[in-house]
Amino acid sequence: MSTPTLPLTAAQMQAKFDASPFIAFMGLQVIEADPANEEITVRAPFRPEFERGGGTGQWHGGPLASVIDTVGDFALVMLIGQGLPTINFRVDYLRPAVNTALIVKAKVRRNGRSVGVSDVDVFDERGALLAIGRATYSTQTTK
């Protein structure tokens, strides 16, 4: 298998999303890839399986955290070309996500030889900030 030309394009990252059963189930869609600023934007549609309680329309924190971790990882994937294992991850939930898709923006804070760090902001479709996350990934095996 040949090494992809870096940075990855939005279409190449979408193909990686679609090739992962879990990410494909989440339905993540790459909206924008900005390698110059080391940022990506992804849309996560709401699904009934993500509901905190049946009929509430409110996102459960678990799927929301999975979206944050995935998008943070892919901000680095755009630059490195392959998925990275998560070392540490945190999320602060600021307000409930109800009856909305998520617009998720990740920014690479560090792309080092052994560690990469991404900050992630999660917005509703109206632009209200719902959650923030930070994740650390191992880049050691890729460089």
Note the pTM of the prediction, 2 decimals: 0.94
Phi, psi of 25 (to 5 degrees): -60, -40
pLDDT of amino acid 4? 74
Beta-carbon contacts of residue 105 (< 8 Å; ≥ 6 apart): 39, 40, 41, 42, 71, 120, 121, 123
Domains present along the chain, CATH in parentheses: 10-138 (3.10.129.10)
Chain position carrying tokens 């990252």: 13
Check residue 59 and report its DSSP letter.
Answer: B
Q: From the first residue on, what is the mean pLDDT of each consecutive set of 10 residues in the chain (143 residues)?
A: 83 97 98 98 97 96 98 97 95 98 98 97 98 96 58
